[in-house]
Amino acid sequence: MIIKQKGCHDIYGLEAKKWNYVSQVIDAVCERYHYDFIRTPIFEASELFHRSIGEETDVVRKEMYDFKDKGNRDITLRPEGTAGVIRSYIENKMYGDSVQPVKLYYNGTMYRYERPQSGRDRELTQFGVEVLGSDDPMIDAEVISLAVNIYKILGLKGIKVNINSLGDQESRDNYRKVLIDYFTPYVNELCEDCKIRLEKNPLRILDCKIDCQLEIMKNAPIIVDYLNEESKKRFLAVQKYLDLLDIEYEVNPSIVRGLDYYNHTVFEIEADIEDFGSQNVLGGGGRYNHLVSQLGGPETPGIGFAMGIGRLILALEKEEIQLPIEEGIDVFVMYVSDTEKEYAVTLVQELRMNGFKAETEYMNRGLKGQFKQADRLKSKFLILLNDEELKENQIKIKNNQTKEENFIELDYILYYLDEQLSSFEESDCNCGHHHEEGHHCHCQHKDDGEINF
């Protein structure tokens, strides 16, 4: 038997429904915040990630899925979404678009060669947003609020927002010197990677998964103490907007992020849920005002974040949150004879084309078996085709909940079902929407009425 690769998942059944539901919420929220969907390739030239994520990061040093293609090109399966989006922004000259800033979101698989454990996969799915063209601290707060609101709308309670500022280039340069002075006397205590980082990129030491355990880390200088006036002012402005948006957060100087492209605002949202496990960072992001120019585009400020969908689903499950996933079908069409079967084929097609969730029999089961199948599928109505009745232009339809049966004229069946289903749904439905056309309620409503779409 061939089995799936380590750190990968097959997602199907109820799990797949949860993933789809989460994606629908993401789409709806992004629409409200006016972000446009972007889909970029899963593989890119390796150089893109080397130049953006940074040579000294764990992602580039250890976790990239690199290969040579048949044309001898160096290719990498994307480990994250930002680099590809920025490449696309530059390549498609989106900086010239009439609508600015450019606000984009994506939802797709990423690949990192990590040691798999719960919440840490080799194939992972990220939803992320990137805003390009505005340096307004208000956008930093908007991006954080978008992330927080997605968790809230899904019903997740245990989340904690940590923010920090890495400042501008001047602040970073100051801090770099301070870090080198601090760590140099302890160089022998550092892991082999961090010995190299000390010279090349000392900030990365603070993010090292091995050295983070060391005692010297606790007293390491923190960047907020080395921010220049401009950077401090900016950081305070972000906090002001977060306060205005009623987003709870903590300033946490240990947030430095694992990728090199950040400056100014950085943030992480962690699961504050008992026994959640060590992979508790649900999402993170920050500002990257030099990434576009670094990759060959014009100097353009940017900010974004990404959240792991796998970790989000784990958090929802840990908090035992029931997502309003629609189950069941509208109608199951039953038949026994061949002429009935021919009619069933066309009727099911017509029902589906008219927006009903319809199913029929494919396994040659007798009527008893078909009743059972309809129950398994949680069908609201049953249509029982019968040769004799069809000749009379009649069709038998049964409400599978009340067990009430009716004979309906053939031409009337769509209208009848529509009417019946809308009263069926109205009794169930507390979405508060008035469903005029077609009467069907497709709202994914929640008890607290937080989102209807």
Among 60, 161, 166, 306, binds ligand HAM (CB under 6 A): 306
Q: What is the CA radius of gyration of the chain?
A: 28
Q: Look at the block and give the residue holding tokens 């801090």.
A: 175
Burial of 104 (0-12, 13-18, 19+ CB in 10 A): buried
Nearest distance in Å: CB 30, ligand HAM: 14
Among 285, 348, 358, 374, binds ligand HAM (CB under 6 A): 285
Which residue, 129 or 384, is less far from ligand HAM as judged by CB?
A: 129
> Order of strands across the sheet with 65-68?
43-45, 74-77, 65-68
* C-alpha span between 235 and 223 (Å, rounded): 12
Q: Which stretch binds ligand HAM (CB under 6 A): 34-42, 299-307, 327-335, 356-364?
A: 299-307
Task: Indicate the residue type of 8.
Answer: C
| Residues of this chain, 395-434, that bind ligand HAM according to CB under 6 A | none
Among 56, 58, 114, 361, binds ligand HAM (CB under 6 A): 114
Among 133, 284, 297, 301, binds ligand HAM (CB under 6 A): 284
Asked if 281 interacts with ligand HAM (CB under 6 A), we say yes
Asked if 82 interacts with ligand HAM (CB under 6 A), we say yes
Asked if 81 interacts with ligand HAM (CB under 6 A), we say yes
| Residues of this chain, 15-44, that bind ligand HAM according to CB under 6 A | none
* C-alpha span between 253 and 218 (Å, rounded): 11
Both structure tokens of 372: 């059972």
Nearest distance in Å: CB 121, ligand HAM: 4
Confirm if 56 and 272 have CB atoms less than 8 A apart. no
Asked if 112 interacts with ligand HAM (CB under 6 A), we say yes
* Integer CA distances (angstroms), 45 to 1, 74, 104, in order: 34, 6, 22
Which residue, 301 or 370, is less far from ligand HAM as judged by CB?
A: 301
Of 85, 308, 47, 61, residue with least CA distance to 204: 61
| Residues of this chain, 118-147, that bind ligand HAM according to CB under 6 A | 119-121, 124, 126, 128, 130
Rounded to the nearest 10 degrees, how much is the dihedral formed by the CA atoms of 188, 193, 195, 200? -170
| Residues of this chain, 224-263, that bind ligand HAM according to CB under 6 A | 258-259
- Between vectors from CA 130 to CA 124 and to CA 136, what angle results, nearest 5°? 145
* Integer CA distances (angstroms), 114 to 62, 110, 212, 227, 283, in order: 8, 12, 18, 33, 17
Q: Which stretch binds ligand HAM (CB under 6 A): 172-180, 305-313, 385-393, 400-408?
A: 305-313
Instruction: Specify which residues 105 forms β-bridges with.
Output: 37, 129
Q: How many CB atoms lie within 10 A of CB 21?
A: 18
Asked if 101 interacts with ligand HAM (CB under 6 A), we say no
Asked if 48 interacts with ligand HAM (CB under 6 A), we say no
Say if strands 159-165 and 263-271 run parallel, antiparallel, or are unpaired.
antiparallel
Nearest distance in Å: CB 310, ligand HAM: 5
Among 56, 58, 80, 260, binds ligand HAM (CB under 6 A): 80
Nearest distance in Å: CB 143, ligand HAM: 8
Which residue, 259 or 451, is less far from ligand HAM as judged by CB?
A: 259
User: Number of residues in contact with ligand HAM, rule: CB under 6 A?
Assistant: 27
Asked if 108 interacts with ligand HAM (CB under 6 A), we say no
Among 166, 282, 334, 385, binds ligand HAM (CB under 6 A): 282
Beta carbons within 8 Å of 218's beta carbon, 6+ residues apart:
none
* C-alpha span between 304 and 101 (Å, rounded): 13
* Integer CA distances (angstroms), 300 to 44, 93, 143, 249, 362, in order: 22, 12, 17, 27, 58
- List the x/- string, 310-349, binding to ligand HAM by CB under 6 A: xx--------------------------------------
Nearest distance in Å: CB 22, ligand HAM: 13
Of 289, 353, 276, residue with least CA distance to 315: 276
Which residue, 108 or 308, is less far from ligand HAM as judged by CB?
A: 308
Nearest distance in Å: CB 422, ligand HAM: 41
Which residue, 198 or 259, is less far from ligand HAM as judged by CB?
A: 259
The DSSP symbol for 117 reads B
Q: Quick one: CA dihedral 25, 30, 36, 37, positive or negative?
A: negative
Nearest distance in Å: CB 428, ligand HAM: 35
Where do contacts with ligand HAM occur on this chain (CB under 6 A)? 80-82, 112, 114, 119-121, 124, 126, 128, 130, 258-259, 281-286, 304-308, 310-311
